[in-house]
């Protein structure tokens, strides 16, 4: 049993560590919460196909109904308002807008997101919109998906269509969520849709994802009101050495290229890490002239998703490309239901490192949170003290980064409510709000009440 405990830190004190214009929110993604997969002209996505394939997700779970958020938007936004959120990060389902990925546009899809944005604004909640959170239209996958360069151009067209409609009301755009996962889990080890297991394909998919981002940035910016922030969200895994042996430091550096630099270097430095593809024992992707300039188009914000860390030990006998084989468990540590170590300082160290290495204009924590086994007895409460402790620790550590000079502008908890956790189906609960999937009843967990208390303390300082 994990000994993670709420700290004695006063919520009011924690609130004072953040500047007045700091933005507090929660995050979700379309396929994880919406349901209504056959409604209003939506076309199928790779996640519909993948989750309907036996053996791909926990107990065959799919996003067919999920949180039924599509039909419950008004109530869900009312809950956000009750928590006192400044912002809500959600994603748009590409195949609701273009059922075939390109070509004919589906007005009803845009109308749904327009309604969501307007409802948020009525409640004074700023919309932060992710344009791609892994649910590629199946029609594009049928033509090669992200391994096909054409997908990058189709994405930029779709992104502009959405920006033209919503760009007068959205506060921030995130082109892609965690392209590392879309490329590696989707095409490399096949744990996520579309389930391709070919590491070389992942390298090319990654390049096209980066290109898609770079092509979309100026078009989204041009279609949005002045001052709208445009950027990307990456997942990072801060790494720490298990010892100071030379081979540990060498393997750690290579694991860092794989886990952290593969996407950040091209975006901010305009190149892939030197020798990266050699280290992975793979070929470099096909790169056309100007691609790296397009990919490194300046952005306004870097979204940072951080949950955990890994401790790495050098292993001469294991191929360097196998980064996970080098991870060692930490016996004294607490782990979440995802088997991710709870290590709050990871977020501080990561934010400082990103600031120092890449100098993004603004950083946002766009995801941070934890899955624990929550128990609901049918009443009005769900007690999740470990999740409260998790948030206290990570938010306090984020404040340390801020005080050390990192231009951190906002924090989004993952997630607003329990939802479809990809290959893990409904077996992992990340929400601040408990969802009873039978009745679709929502119950505020203690972590939601704690977050509301933090936000109330923060807003009362004005």
Please report, as residue ranges, which positions from 79 to 138 form the binding site for ligand FCB (by CB under 6 A). none
Question: Does 187 sit near ligand FCB (CB under 6 A)?
Answer: no
Q: What x/- string results for residues 263 through 282 when contact with ligand FCB is judged by CB under 6 A?
A: --------------------
Interface with ligand FCB: number of residues (CB under 6 A): 12
- Least distance to ligand FCB, CB of residue 428, Å: 8
Give me the active site residues, please: 178, 367
- Least distance to ligand FCB, CB of residue 420, Å: 9
Nearer CB in complex with ligand FCB: 394/422:
422
Position among 430, 434, 450, 451 found at the interface with ligand FCB (CB under 6 A): 430
**Which residue stretch of 157-165, 212-220, 383-391, 414-422 sits at the interface with ligand FCB (rule: CB under 6 A)?**
414-422
- Least distance to ligand FCB, CB of residue 261, Å: 18
Question: Does 367 sit near ligand FCB (CB under 6 A)?
Answer: yes
Residue from 24, 32, 28, 121 nearest 455 by CA = 24
Question: Does 414 sit near ligand FCB (CB under 6 A)?
Answer: yes
- Least distance to ligand FCB, CB of residue 245, Å: 31
- Least distance to ligand FCB, CB of residue 128, Å: 14
- Least distance to ligand FCB, CB of residue 387, Å: 13
**Which residue stretch of 175-183, 214-222, 256-264, 376-384 sits at the interface with ligand FCB (rule: CB under 6 A)?**
175-183
Question: Does 180 sit near ligand FCB (CB under 6 A)?
Answer: no
Nearer CB in complex with ligand FCB: 189/200:
189
Nearer CB in complex with ligand FCB: 15/202:
202
Q: Which two tokens stand for residue 149?
A: 């360069």
Query: CA 227, CA 362: separation in Å to the nearest integer?
Result: 13
Handedness of CA 186, 190, 196, 198 (dihedral sign): positive
Nearer CB in complex with ligand FCB: 178/251:
178
Question: Does 18 sit near ligand FCB (CB under 6 A)?
Answer: no
- Least distance to ligand FCB, CB of residue 311, Å: 20
Please report, as residue ranges, which positions from 211 to 240 form the binding site for ligand FCB (by CB under 6 A). 235
Q: What x/- string results for residues 297 through 316 when contact with ligand FCB is judged by CB under 6 A?
A: --------x-----------
3-state per-residue secondary structure call for the chain: CCCCCCCCCCHHHHHHCCCCCCEEEEECCHHHHCCCCCCCCCCCEHHHHHHCCCCCCHHHCCCCCCCCHHHHHHHHHHHHHHHCCCEEEEECCHHHHCCCCCCCCCHHHHHHHHHHHHHHHHCCCEEEEEEECCCCEHHHHCCCHHHCCHHHHHHHHHHHHHHHHHCCCCCEEEEEECHHHHHHHHHHCCCCCCCCCCHHHHHHHHHHHHHHHHHHHHHHHHCCCCCCEEEEEEECCCEEECCCCHHHHHHHHHHHHHHHHHHHHHHHHCCCCCCHHHHCCCCCCCCCCCHHHHHCCCCCEEEEECCCCEEECCCCCCCCCCHHHHEECCCCCCECCCCCECCCHHHHHHHHHHHHHHCCCCEEEEECCCCCCCCCCCCCCECCHHHHHHHHHHHHHHHHHHHCCCCEEEEEEECCECCCCHHHHHHCCCCCEEEECCCCEEEEEHHHHHHHHHHHHHHCCC
Position among 181, 230, 292, 294 found at the interface with ligand FCB (CB under 6 A): 181
Residue 229 pairs in a beta bridge with 172
Question: Does 29 sit near ligand FCB (CB under 6 A)?
Answer: yes
- Least distance to ligand FCB, CB of residue 29, Å: 5
Question: Does 50 sit near ligand FCB (CB under 6 A)?
Answer: no
Nearer CB in complex with ligand FCB: 45/106:
45
Nearer CB in complex with ligand FCB: 223/239:
239
Question: Does 394 sit near ligand FCB (CB under 6 A)?
Answer: no
- Residues with Cβ within 8 Å of 10's Cβ and at least 6 positions away in sequence, in order, are none
C-alpha angle 122/127/131, rounded to 5°?
Answer: 140
Question: Does 177 sit near ligand FCB (CB under 6 A)?
Answer: yes
Point out which residues bind ligand FCB (CB under 6 A): 29, 32, 177-178, 181, 235, 305, 367, 414, 421-422, 430
């Amino acid at each position: 049993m994990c000994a993670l405990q709420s700290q004695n830190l006063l919520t009011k004190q924690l609130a004072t560590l953040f500047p007045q214009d700091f933005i507090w929110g929660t995050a979700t993604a379309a396929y994880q919460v919406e349901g209504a997969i056959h409604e209003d002209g939506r076309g199928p996505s790779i996640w519909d196909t993948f989750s309907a394939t036996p053996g791909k997700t926990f107990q065959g779970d799919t996003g067919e109904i999920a949180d039924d958020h599509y039909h419950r938007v008004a109530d869900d936004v009312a809950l956000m308002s009750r928590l006192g959120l400044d912002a809500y990060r959600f994603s748009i389902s590409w195949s609701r807008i273009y059922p075939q990925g390109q070509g004919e546009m589906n007005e009803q899809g845009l109308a749904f997101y327009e309604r969501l944005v307007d409802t948020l604004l009525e409640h004074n909640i700023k919309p932060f919109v992710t344009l791609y959170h892994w649910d590629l239209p199946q029609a594009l996958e049928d033509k090669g998906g992200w391994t096909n360069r054409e997908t990058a151009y189709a994405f930029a067209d779709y992104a502009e269509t959405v920006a033209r409609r919503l760009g007068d009301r959205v506060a921030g755009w995130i082109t892609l969520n965690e392209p590392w996962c879309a490329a590696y889990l989707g095409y490399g080890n096949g744990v996520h849709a579309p389930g391709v297991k070919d590491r070389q394909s992942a390298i090319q998919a990654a390049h096209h994802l980066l290109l898609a981002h770079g092509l979309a940035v100026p078009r989204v910016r041009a279609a949005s009101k002045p001052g709208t922030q445009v950027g990307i969200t990456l997942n990072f895994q801060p790494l720490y050495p298990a010892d100071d042996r030379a081979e540990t430091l060498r393997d750690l550096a290579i694991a860092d290229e794989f886990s952290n630099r593969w996407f950040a270097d091209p975006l901010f430095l305009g190149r892939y890490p030197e020798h990266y593809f050699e280290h992975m024992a793979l070929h470099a992707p096909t790169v056309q002239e100007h691609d790296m300039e397009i990919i490194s188009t300046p952005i306004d914000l870097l979204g940072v998703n951080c949950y955990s860390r890994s401790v790495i030990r050098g292993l001469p006998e294991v191929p360097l490309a196998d980064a996970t084989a080098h991870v060692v468990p930490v016996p004294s540590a607490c782990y979440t239901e995802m088997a991710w170590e709870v290590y709050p300082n990871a977020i501080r160290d990561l934010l400082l490192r990103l600031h120092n290495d890449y100098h993004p204009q603004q950083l946002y924590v766009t995801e941070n949170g934890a899955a624990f086994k929550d128990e609901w007895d049918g009443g009005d409460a769900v007690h999740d003290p470990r999740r409260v402790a998790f948030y206290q620790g990570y938010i306090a550590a984020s404040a340390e980064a801020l005080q050390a000079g990192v231009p951190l502008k906002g924090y989004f908890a993952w997630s607003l409510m329990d939802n479809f956790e990809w290959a893990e189906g409904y077996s992992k609960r990340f929400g601040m709000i408990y969802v009873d999937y039978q009745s679709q009843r929502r119950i505020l967990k203690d972590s939601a009440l704690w977050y509301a208390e933090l936000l109330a303390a923060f807003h009362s300082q004005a």
